[in-house]
Amino acid sequence: MKILLVGEYSRLHNSLQEGLKALGHQVTLVSTGDDFKNFPADVLLKKKYVTGFFRKVLVGIYKLSGINISSVSVRKQFFNQKEKFTDFDVVQLINESPFGISPKAEKEIISFLKQHNKKLFLLSCGADYTNVKYALEKKLKYSIFEDYFSGKIQKKQIDFALKYSTQPFKELHHWVVNKVDGIIASDIDYHLPLIGKPNYIGMVPNPVNLSKIRYIENPVTDKIVIFLGINRSNYHSKGIRFFEEALQIINKKYSEKVTVVVAENLPYNQYIHRYNQAHIVLDQVLSYDQGYNALEAMAKGKVVFTGAEKEFEKFYNLDFPVAINALPNAQKIANELEKLIKNPELITQIGTNARLFIEKHHDFKQIAKRYLDSWKNN
């Protein structure tokens, strides 16, 4: 089968591509690299003028003329090599806005892909109209909008997600949903809002390439190493402040027993290198399931503080911990860290559980087969 994967978030499509290729399929990935993370792609479309002084110029031009230069640039790069994006059996978009550009430019690109290929599928991965609406209606116990609801942050600080509730993105959502042959969710956070929706064909877990990720035996022989990676662009939506507050509590009580490593806005390869020696990885708070960074850390045998809610445990029929459910409460997070500090044998036990869970439910070849079945049957 000839497959085109469009867009990239946190290495999901890279791993899926590796799984599909291992099964003998021809796969092309086109993306912007997910900005500073610099994920590889067969066709890399560069988003220009998105940082520093040039971003301010871009915003100024947009306010004056309504023209988004970055969107214009990505659209031009795509159509300058449009012959690379035709005659595929399956095209999969990673999101309703797979390149993170204006709805108008996304529509033009997606229209071309629909017209010149056989099947078109949509992933619900990352913020989109459906899950943002679901969260804004407070249908979850907690969501990425916790600090926005409580007034701790302004609208502009969470605008990257709130934009999906605006009229242009609402129209993009309905337009894309009517174009695709099916919608697939990548984890529980995106599955719950889609239940009962037309075109929803189910959840397929994130693929993890275990041939590239070895289990790291990392017994506690001295200090327990705790790693926190911060991406400023999603600081509030990940609930990072709860981790920072919890670490202040832990540092006061156990500074002689722990080493805290904090890394900020690192490219993917550097990020991975920094957490390899950690025993505990603080990933995210405001989720029900694990994102890609958490899954890779779990595959290495880390104890990961992330989304691991009851809905997640029920879906996978778990009766033992594979990760720590990080609640939006600094004291509760600190209490969970304290249990591990007082009982370091739990670190090895949970880390082993985590690796076995990834092998059973997230192996990239098995997940690739599930995608193939979803595409063929819809």
Per-residue pLDDT tens digits for 59-102: 444 444 445 688 999 999 999 999 999 999 999 999 999 999 99
- With a pLDDT cut of 90, the percent of the chain lying above it is 84
d(CA 341, CA 58): 48
| pLDDT interval class at 326 (50, 70, 90) | very high
**Single-letter code of the amino acid located at 257:** K
Stretch 262-286: mean pLDDT, rounded?
A: 88
Work out the mean pLDDT of the chain and round it to a whole number. Answer: 93
Q: Pairing relation of β-strands 280-282 and 324-325?
A: unpaired
Note the pLDDT of residue 51. Answer: 52
Stretch 53-63: mean pLDDT, rounded?
A: 46
| pLDDT interval class at 47 (50, 70, 90) | confident
pLDDT at 265 over 50: yes
Residue with tokens 């993170």: 100
Stretch 151-158: mean pLDDT, rounded?
A: 94
φ, ψ at 245 (rounded to 5°): -65, -40
Residue with tokens 């007034």: 151
Window from 41-50, 86-95, 340-349 with minimum mean pLDDT: 41-50
d(CA 204, CA 155): 32
φ, ψ at 306 (rounded to 5°): -160, -165
b/e map of 238-267 (b: 16 or more CB within 10 Å)? bbbbbbeebbebbeeebeeebebeeeeebe
Q: pLDDT higher for 346 or 68?
A: 346
**Single-letter code of the amino acid located at 162:** L
Selection from 154, 152, 148, 122 nearest residue 135 by Cα:
148
Neighbours of 102 (CB within 10 A): 22
| pLDDT interval class at 270 (50, 70, 90) | confident
What are the angstrom distances between the C-alpha of 310 and each of 139, 295, 317, 346? 15, 18, 10, 20
Note the pLDDT of residue 253. Answer: 96
pLDDT at 36 over 80: no
Contact present, 243 and 285 (Cβ < 8 Å): yes
Domains assigned to the chain:
2-207+363-376 (3.40.50), 224-361 (3.40.50.2000)
pLDDT at 111 over 50: yes
Which value, to the nearest 10 degrees, does the dihedral of the CA atoms of residues 159, 161, 163, 164 take? -170
Summarize pLDDT for 155-190 with one digit per residue, the tens. 999 999 999 999 999 999 999 999 999 999 999 999
Residues 6+ apart with CB under 8 A from 300: 213, 214, 215, 216, 276, 355
Note the pLDDT of residue 57. Answer: 46
Stretch 304-324: mean pLDDT, rounded?
A: 97
What are the angstrom distances between the C-alpha of 107 and each of 41, 100, 104, 169, 183? 21, 12, 5, 11, 17
